[in-house]
Structure 1
């Protein structure tokens, strides 16, 4: 009853990522029975898909804002303290 439905979408990327991390800890801990493990795995797949979609949306927004040209970050001037 306290478990979210496999199909329910999280409110944000951060919420999805936190839930995914919690699921991973539970599954790695070995405390889940087979049925709960399968449910957790299905939920994890759903969360990963959601996170990827959110990242793709943000990447598209950055492309639009940056005139369709993503530029590599120049790390030389950042690491020199300038």
Structure 2
């Protein structure tokens, strides 16, 4: 299984994408037992959700740039909260 993202040991977007590609490759090979395939699928879903969350965070940061009087100005970015209520930077 992939390492879980924690505040002490976060999984980067790149790590999650690589793990997701590995999982897809294993599942596409068709040479995995059903139980293993289910575990891989669940882990792949987690990696997919992690990537989606990280992309949403980046999108919000980009949207923090707004045009004012013909200039781009950076607005303060207030971190979003995750499912546990913790602020995500």
> TM over 0.5: same fold?
yes
Extract unaligned runs of 5+ from structure 1.
69-82
Check the 8 A contact 2:16/2:51 in 1, yes or no: yes
- When the two structures are superposed, what TM-score results if normalisation uses the length of structure 2? 0.65
Higher relative CO (Cα under 8 Å, sequence separation at least 6) belongs to 1
- When the two structures are superposed, what TM-score results if normalisation uses the length of structure 1? 0.70
Deviations 1:19-72 (A, max 9, x none): 0000000000011100100000000110110000000000000011x217xxxx
Extract unaligned runs of 5+ from structure 2.
68-89
Detail structure 1 runs of 4+ shifted over 2 Å in the superposition.
none
Q: Distance in 1 between matches of 2:33 and 2:43?
A: 15
Correspondence for 2:72 = none
Q: Distance in 1 between matches of 2:37 and 2:63?
A: 39
The structure that is helix-richer by fraction is 1
Larger C-alpha radius of gyration, 1 or 2?
A: 1
How many residue pairs get aligned? The number is: 63
